[in-house]
Amino acid sequence: MATSTGIQLTSRPNGWPDPSDFRTVRTELPALQAGEVRVANEFISVDPYMRGRMNDAKSYVPPFELGETMEGGAVGRVTESTSDELSAGDLVLHSFGWRDVAQGPAGKFRKVEPVEGLPSSVYLSALGMTGLTAYAGLTRIAGMQENDVVFVSGAAGAVGSTAGQMARLLGAKQVIGSAGSAEKVSLLTGKYGFTDAFNYKDAPVREQLPAAAPDGIDVYFDNVGGDHLEAAIDVFNTHGRAALCGAISQYNETEKSPGPDNMFQLVGKNLTLRGFIVRWHEDLQPEFVERMSGWLRSGDVVFEETVVDGIDNSVQAFLDMMAGANTGKMVVKI
Ligand SMILES: NC(=O)c1ccc[n+]([C@@H]2O[C@H](COP(=O)([O-])OP(=O)(O)OC[C@H]3O[C@@H](n4cnc5c(N)ncnc54)[C@H](OP(=O)(O)O)[C@@H]3O)[C@@H](O)[C@H]2O)c1
């Protein structure tokens, strides 16, 4: 009898989640029905948006059910199939993460081709949801143009590190990044090719950003919200554009945080601040995959991940990612 080990949410966190809000459960899997596949996951994704799914609140994705194995991005190999669409050995991308073995109708699994020289986790990071988020946010939402000055927050993370590298490749005049440690700041200007970077923990962003951007900024890729968004509004040039991708500084807050105190500048500077969710921009996928595959092959985009071993460590991996222990995409190797 095949089994699957999965992680369940058992209580809804208030503020920072605690490992006691989760439990690991081993279940026996039923025999495959016609048209189903069984998949051994190779990597599962832990992402900031999952924090929102731990709340019992209406959002663009439903909350995780208490006592059910959580879902999330995963990539794995088909081990058994009763479907004509997929065969044993196929690499598939799907949303039955937070478990080592997944099973279900073949239609819920998308076959992807292994990329020579790269681990399959690339489909959770640079060539996956986080890469597409960076691309859609920069090109479609912020309408980045050559010679723009671009500021990216959360810049050493999965989306941010990709957005910053893409901004450089798309002809930005200056790419400024913020991150939460000196090591990450060195990575930004060294490995990822940002022109300037600062540690947001060293001094207020409102002091550090103007110093890094003497000519102002044209595009802001916002992963953080709060103090970062406020500082960006201060230094925006006329017709500046922000892609509001996330606000991770607020995901574990128990009180509502004050909004930017300078929203009136949106009027005088003709600014556009536009939110987006990547799932509404999946039509960009073919164009994105073509460009990103080329950049990965040429080495123009550096592919970085923080890999944690074992399903039993997935909750800790999620908590560590929320606290900034990762550079690039945090994934769990099964
Ligand atoms: N709109 C969409 O469709 C979409 C899709 C994917 C992701 N997102 C959003 O994009 C953002 C980045 O996601 P990701 O998957 O790439 O995660 P990530 O950046 O790889 O990991 C999260 C990072 O957030 C930083 N962080 C945590 N608390 C912070 C705070 N108070 N202030 C500033 N930085 C903080 C940490 O880095 P430091 O060490 O630098 O603090 C941590 O490494 C998140 O806001 C996420 O919700 C949106």
pTM, full prediction: 0.95
Task: Please list the rounded mean pLDDT of every run of 10 residues in the chain (334 residues).
Answer: 96 97 97 98 98 94 96 98 98 98 98 95 96 97 98 98 98 98 98 98 98 98 96 96 95 88 85 94 96 96 95 98 97 98
Give the model's pLDDT for residue 270: 87
Architecture of the domain whose range is 129-279: 3-Layer(aba) Sandwich (3.40)
* Dist. CA 45 → ligand 1 center (Å): 14
- What residue's CA is closest to ligand 1, atom 34? 154
* Dist. CA 69 → ligand 1 center (Å): 24
* Dist. CA 46 → ligand 1 center (Å): 11
Give the model's pLDDT for residue 100: 98
- What residue's CA is closest to ligand 1, atom 31? 249
What residues line ligand 1, using a CB cutoff of 6 Å? 47-49, 130, 133, 154, 156-160, 179-181, 184, 200, 223-224, 245-246, 248-249, 276-278, 321-322, 324, 326, 329-330
- What residue's CA is closest to ligand 1, atom 28? 249
Q: Where are the domains of the chain?
A: 3-125+303-333, 129-279
CA dist., res. 164 & res. 158, Å (int): 10
Give the model's pLDDT for residue 67: 97
Give the model's pLDDT for residue 240: 96
- Shared fold status for 3-125+303-333 and 129-279: no
Give the model's pLDDT for residue 257: 83
Which one-letter amino acid corresponds to residue 161?
S
Q: What is the CATH number of domain 3-125+303-333?
A: 3.90.180.10
